[in-house]
Each structure stands twice: as C-alpha cells, then as structure tokens.
Amino acid sequence: MTGDVESGRYGRAGAERDTEERGGPLTPGEQRLAALWAGVLGVPAGRIGRTDNFFEIGGTSRAAVRLVLALGHRLSVDEFARTPVLAEQAGLLESRNATGPVPAAAAPAAAAAGPGAGG
C-alpha cells in the first residue's frame, strides 16, 4: 500500500464521527492547512482533525513535498516530517507569520502540477 486513502482511516464507515471526536481545526491557520492537506490527500477538508497525523491518514513523502511547495517552503520537508500533526504544524507556521498566513487551499493544485507547469 502506498498511502491510499481507502486503506486508511477514511475508508471505513463512521469517519465523520471520528473527526468530531478528534476535533476539527480551530484557528484560521489550522483551517487553511486542513484544506491544503485535504487537497493533496483527495479527501474532504471536514475529515481532517486538528490532532491528525498527516502520515497516519494516508499522506506519503511525495504528498508532503507537494505541501511544502504549496506552503512556499515555509517548512522544510524535514520540519514537515518532524511535525506531522495538523495543529502543531499550523502553530509552527503561525509562529513564522511575519511572512504571511498559511496559504489558501488553491495552492496544492499548482504544486501538484509539477515543475515547469504554468510558466
């Protein structure tokens, strides 16, 4: 398995209830980051909980690189791997707020297109 969403937590019945139990994103930064994660993972943003670990819910190293690109390299791949929980990642990004807030969810599509796309 290569991080297929269907093989992870989201493939089973009751995923929405599980998200409610884990708690949804609270801050605007957490909400924007959850939308980015959802775009890369191909799941509804409402299924991303603030205590979710990116790699435990189907994220792969390739997906992590796409998110790092979508975030404008505000996190390194190593930092992303060491901080895989949504709330912690959002907190780290917000602590670097001098360069702007967590980017909007439209960014993953451009990052997923790969090098040389659009320019």
Which domains occur in the chain, in start order?
24-109 (1.10.1200.10)
Mean of pLDDT values over 5-28? 54
Mean of pLDDT values over 66-75? 91
Contact 8, 60 (CB under 8 A): no
**What pTM value is reported for the model?**
0.66
Q: How many CA atoms lie within 13 A of 70 on its CB side?
A: 28
Contact 90, 33 (CB under 8 A): yes
Task: Give the model's confidence band at 98: pLDDT under 50 very low, under 70 low, under 90 confident, else very high.
Answer: low
Would you call 14 exposed, middle or buried from its count of C-beta atoms within 10 A (0-12, 13-18, 19+)?
A: exposed
The amino acid occupying position 38 is A
Model confidence over 99-114: pLDDT tens digits?
554 555 544 444 444 4
pLDDT, residue 45, reads 85
pLDDT, residue 60, reads 95
Within its chain, how far is the Cα of 9 from the centroid?
15
Give the number of other CB atoms < 10 A from CB of residue 48. Answer: 25
Contact 41, 59 (CB under 8 A): yes
Model confidence over 26-53: pLDDT tens digits?
888 899 999 999 999 999 988 999 999 9
pLDDT, residue 103, reads 55
pLDDT above 90 covers a percentage of the chain that reads 45
pLDDT, residue 25, reads 83
Instruction: Take residue 72 and report the two structure tokens written for it.
Output: 């404008």
pLDDT, residue 102, reads 55
Q: DSSP readout, 27-55?
A: SHHHHHHHHHHHHHHTS-GGG--TT-BTT
- Which run of H or E residues covers position 91? helix 86-95
